[in-house]
Amino acid sequence: MSAHAAVPRTRRDPHAIAQTILNRQTPDALGLLKIYRNTVWRAWLDAMQQQFPSVCALMGDAVADEVIRAYLHGHPPQSGVLLDIGVSFPAFLHGGGSAHLLHAKIAQCDWLWSRSHVAADAPSLTLAGWHALLMQPDQCVVLHPACYWYAPDSADLAQQWSAGREGVGELTGVGLLFGRPFGAVESAGLTLAELACLERLKAGEPLTQAIEAAYAVDTHIDFSELGAKLLHVGVISCLLPAPWSTHD
């Protein structure tokens, strides 16, 4: 007897399968409500795990599931757009005591990666544009809308975050820089000197003052490496001749 012939007729006949389904009792309203609730919860849990992959990896599956459920019970999504789910999750973890302080920092990095992913499109400064800026460093710049960074007091934050992020190589630094110059989000570790430079650019100061701020932190900073990092992540969108920046 063939394997096909051994399968009962009701498992092969589509009409028999349909009749079997129709003969089953339809769930009552309470049963349907439970099914809907479970489906919604599964969607929320999946969205949170996709939104915060690094912190979930750091916690482990069991702990992450428990913590996320506790968060969702107190902070259910207010919108059907699940790209925005978890906006207060880092703060929730931070309020959970010393056991979750590192988790809160990693979650904030995950959140900023997500914000970079969904930020508005904009052109990024090209290599030729960077060379032009170096020739006239008194110009101010507009930061790209997808540019975010985070640098709490954590010596190996970049390494800890990148370890749980699929598709991201090992990063080092006291902070993390995110941007989306083209289609995908790029990330890079930050030194304290690079952070000082970024903060000055964000404040609307020209490149000369941003470089001076970086040099004040680290006299051995490699400005060629800094420039390459700014271009790779797509930090700068365009140049401004006036001494101010439109970046919030």
**Amino acid letter at 240?**
L
**Amino acid letter at 215?**
Y
Tokens 């914000």 — which residue?
115
Q: Is residue 98 part of a domain?
A: yes
Q: Are residues 101 and 140 located together in one domain of the fold?
A: no
Q: Are residues 100 and 26 located together in one domain of the fold?
A: yes
More confident residue, 216 or 6: 216
Beta strands in the chain (DSSP E): 140-143, 148-150, 175-179, 186-190, 236-240
Is residue 111's pLDDT more than 90?
Answer: yes
Q: Is residue 220 part of a domain?
A: yes
Domain termination site, one of 93, 118, 143: 118
φ, ψ for residue 148 (rounded to 5)? Answer: -140, 150
Q: What is the DSSP letter of 78?
A: S
Q: Is residue 40 part of a domain?
A: yes
Q: Is residue 62 part of a domain?
A: yes
Q: Are residues 108 and 211 located together in one domain of the fold?
A: no
pLDDT at 153: 75
Question: What is the C-alpha separation between 99 and 110, in angstroms, rounded?
Answer: 18
Question: What is the C-alpha separation between 152 and 148, in angstroms, rounded?
Answer: 13
pLDDT at 244: 38
57-71, 151-165, 179-193, 218-232: the lowest-pLDDT one = 151-165
**Amino acid letter at 115?**
R
Domain termination site, one of 87, 118, 149: 118
Is residue 218's pLDDT more than 90?
Answer: yes
Q: Is residue 247 part of a domain?
A: no
Domain termination site, one of 118, 145, 171: 118
Q: Are residues 114 and 136 located together in one domain of the fold?
A: no
Q: Are residues 46 and 68 located together in one domain of the fold?
A: yes
Is residue 17's pLDDT more than 90?
Answer: no
Most confidently modeled range among 108-112, 223-227, 244-248 = 108-112
Q: What is the DSSP letter of 219?
A: T
What's the predicted TM-score (pTM) here?
A: 0.80
More confident residue, 16 or 120: 120
Neighbours of 226 (CB within 10 A): 18
Q: Are residues 145 and 51 located together in one domain of the fold?
A: no
Q: Residue 138's domain spans which residues?
A: 127-240
Q: Is residue 246 part of a domain?
A: no
Q: Are residues 135 and 161 located together in one domain of the fold?
A: yes
Q: Are residues 160 and 107 located together in one domain of the fold?
A: no
Is residue 102's pLDDT more than 60?
Answer: yes
Q: Are residues 160 and 222 located together in one domain of the fold?
A: yes
Q: For 31-56, write each residue's pLDDT tens digit.
A: 444 544 567 778 889 999 999 999 99
Question: What is the C-alpha separation between 232 and 187, in angstroms, rounded?
Answer: 9
- How far is Cα of residue 229 from the mean position of the Cα atoms in its chain? 19
Cα-Cα-Cα-Cα torsion 57, 60, 62, 67, nearest 10 degrees, comes to: -70
Work out the end-to-end distance of the chain between its first and last CA atoms, rounded to an integer number of angstroms.
74
Number of domains in the chain: 2
Q: Are residues 113 and 135 located together in one domain of the fold?
A: no
Cβ contact 43:85 at 8 Å:
no
Q: What is the mean pLDDT of the chain?
A: 83
Q: Are residues 138 and 181 located together in one domain of the fold?
A: yes
Q: Is residue 245 part of a domain?
A: no
| Helix boundaries (H) for 52-156 | 53-59, 61-74, 89-94, 101-118, 127-135
